[in-house]
A and B are shown apart, each in its own frame.
Chain A
Amino acid sequence: MADETLDASGLNCPLPILKTKKALSKMDAGKILDVISTDAGSVKDIEAFCNQTGNKLISTTEDGGKYVFTIEKV
């Protein structure tokens, strides 16, 4: 179960990444953030973001063009 949820639906690149960064910066290490996005590009982008920043991408799910990324803050 996520500690925080960020709804970035309707937003396009790079806003989902920027909002994810902002949301994570307000959270403590070990906490879980769910990011909801409708931007198909964010699938690769969130992955790359986690790769670079060291945050852990726990899961990605897709349901009818709506993506949910579960990220653990490091």
Chain B
Amino acid sequence: MSEEKTPEKELGAVKTTHGGHSHTGSLAISLPEGCKRIVLAGNPNVGKSVFFNYFSGLYVDVSNYPGTTIEISQARYGDDAIVDTPGIYGVSSFNDEEIVARDIILSADMVVNVVDAVHIERDLFLTLQLIDMGLPMVVALNFMDEVEEQDLEIDVDLLSDLLGVPVIPTAAVKKRGLAEVTAALDDAREGNQDPFLHKKLHEMLSRVGSQPEALMVLEGDEHVAARHGIKPGADREVIYVRRRERVNDIVGHVVKEKALVETVRQKMGRLVLNPLTGVPFLALVLYGLYQLVAVFIAQIVVGVTEEALMQGYWEPFIRGIVEPIVSESTPLGEILIGEFGVLTMTATYLLGLLLPLVLGFYLALALMEDSGYLPRLATLVDRALNAIGLNGRAVVPLILGFGCVTMATITTRLLGTEREKTIATAILQWAIPCSAQLGVITVLLAAIGGFYILLYIGIVFLTLAIIGTVLSRVLPGKSAPLLIDLPPLRLPRPDNVARKAVTRTYYFMKEAIPWFAIGALVVSVMKITHALTAWQDAWAPLTTGWLKLPKEASTAFVMGLVRRDFGAAGLFEMNLAPMETLVALVTITLFVPCIASLMILFKERGWKQAIPIWLGSWVLAFGIGGILAQLLL
């Protein structure tokens, strides 16, 4: 039970401080005069979040950076502010994460650079870049416990001398060295900058007025250069090569390698990567995911939350209150407590069904992220994704799509080329059911049994593969190749996993609730005005003739226009035969995305791509659904 407490507390903290600050970006906390912005920076997977949590205490402001899905956490630290940044390998603007991190770093008064001591050779590149920016900083040399375990030796004092900034050895997860880092903030100072850069930096400094920005311009950052109306420098490669040489020189002096023995975790990392062992492992992961989401949550947990709690207690309770005032047979009663009532069906569906499923999904996703499995999965499936014109990195938006297609569509930005973004977006909008829809689908499929589950997966997967292959052939250009770092496998920390899952679920629900309520309202109004029957009759040739479903199934399509899952939910009460359920589910899966997702589709891809994608999903859904019906029913 004690684990249950943390997410609630975190959620409370997010709620209380979030109001009014959302989407105001990195400057959400108003800073009094003389207050400093302390920025946490480091490579991905170096344990930055543990530092942030130590610094921030309870009141954390989590907001999406404007125009991105990247979450920025910030908090008060005494009289100052502490801001977290996305993990990056260097400061520049190659992708969204880097742009966000760069802008926060450019606004920093002081930097705490968290360095993975085991991968010091990689991490010091960012450290030296931050030093060349002339920012006062402290280095937290993390994972020192692992350094000892792996028979490495690092001369921390010498490292500090060579860098010219305080270096504090830490083992953040074990709470070692955290207090020392906060104490060292007073000693934060500018490090030893590259003498080779000195003259050029000074010239540029006189033009742009700040050393961090001057360095960015010299390194060819187009965004920063454009802000000052000057041409970006052409020396990035020279500066990078020199910086790499300086890093290697420093590492050569401070690191003593006793023996490079493969640890158990490295062996594990190798095993999940090698197809012979990696593919069975992936099957095991998917099976575990299925057991967690489709069996444990969709059946056992939802059985309690939806049936026992919401339908057993909440609905009779709220009906008992509303009924004496507004009868269910009046229009208002229909809207409030009728078949699609805002207080009955909507509440039951959102809290009893959707909430546990979405939370379960995000827990699974956070586990995969925090364990370091995701990049290995990307490597393993790279070849398969090449066939549909994507590279391994696309597993991230594709998997996220199973959480929320809207969110995943925004994440397609991390893909290298326009071509890949188009392919991934089309696949997401057409063939990937989001967690909400997946939840309802899972419940419906679980009721009709294993064979139909496999059939459903097979059909949707085949459709996805065909779409991807065709698009990849038709669209001009070439996709970017895979080039990623594989972090070591780590046991995920329960508190981090819980925090991530709860935060994401919170945002998802916040976004879902109004749309869902609108959808329920529309259907209720249509029912009162008898428009629902008219709609059903209008669609009858298609639903009964072509899809061979009862005409009430078309209600699912009107609801599906608003929210995908809502469409599937419409099938719940209909007592369809197993094959009919299959046809209905395939159709509703391939059917148009929800309104929120449609808006993002237009925003991200422009109307020239968005309209064909949207219309295409009508053709695809009724085309494939119909063919299935003709074959199977």
Chain B associates with chain A: no
